[in-house]
Amino acid sequence: MKFNKKYLTERGKFTYFILKNLYENNSISRKLFYLYINKFEGGQFYSTTLRRIFKEIKNIDVQLGTYGCFTEGFRPNVKIGAYCSIAPGVQRLVGNHPYSNISTYPLFYSKDFGALESSRYAEQMLVIGHDVWIGVNAIITGNVHNIGNGAIIGAGAVVTHDVEPYSIVAGVPARKIGTRFSEPIQEKLDQSKWWELKPDQLSSIAEIANQPEEFILKVNEILGENADD
């Protein structure tokens, strides 16, 4: 049986409408939603429906492969790259209490309390790069606007400033304790853009992931073949 494009488009819209309602209605219907995406869309790792819902509802933009961020701990206005690993309990705090005010109470700076027409401090976007690993119960404060590609944040860390690409930070407050790769390797990784590969393509070179130079060469070969197609 053949279907025209209009029918398929309308069918897709209807399916999305049903799934979005399942997600939003209550905890029971949300379980049904996750049963569906786990069976048909690869779960939170690859589900386009889950990503679309989070983008529309929370302005959280999540790329392919990333997991662990589809929770209440992630507040709105976040952009997350591909293949990031986010452990349970990670939170992003967005509310700063200005200590230079007469009081730190939100009535004096947030419109939500009705005293002001607009909030005095705009909520900033948080951009998380590709291949970022954030450990269990880490806290990202409102002062953080950028976490670079390949960064690692240790479990329980309280991050109060931007994190450089491929750096390892830990502690309270979080401090840099190491770097994953030399600068030449970092540059080659960024230039390769390996995170643009699909999961099946990455699976074909997973065995050499512990050999950065060889891995990068293979990525460049695959992307070169894709460009020729």
pLDDT of residue 11: 63
Cis amide bond preceding 173, omega within 30: yes
Candidates 97, 130, 145, 161; catalytic one = 97
For domain 59-179, the CATH class is mainly beta
pLDDT of residue 193: 95
| Long-range contacts of 140-149, Cβ-Cβ distance < 8 Å, separation of 24 or more | 140/90, 140/91, 140/92, 140/93, 141/93, 141/96, 142/93, 142/94, 142/95, 142/96, 143/96, 149/81, 149/189, 149/190
Which residues, 6 or more positions from 228, have their beta carbon under 8 angstroms from its beta carbon? none
pLDDT of residue 83: 97
Region 193-214 average pLDDT: 94
Backbone torsions φ then ψ of 207, nearest 5 degrees: -65, -20
Is pLDDT at 7 greater than 50 in this prediction? no
| Residue 3 banded pLDDT, cuts 50, 70, 90 | very low
Query: Catalytic residue at 145?
Result: no
Query: Over pLDDT 70: what percentage of the chain?
Result: 91
Task: Convert the pLDDT of each residue in 128-151 to its tens digit.
Answer: 999 999 999 999 998 899 999 999
3-state secondary structure of 198: coil
pLDDT of residue 20: 92
Six-digit token string for 6: 């209009």
Interatomic CA distance for residues 119 and 106, integer angstroms? 9
Region 177-184 average pLDDT: 96
In the chain, which segments carry CATH 2.160.10.10?
59-179
pTM: 0.86
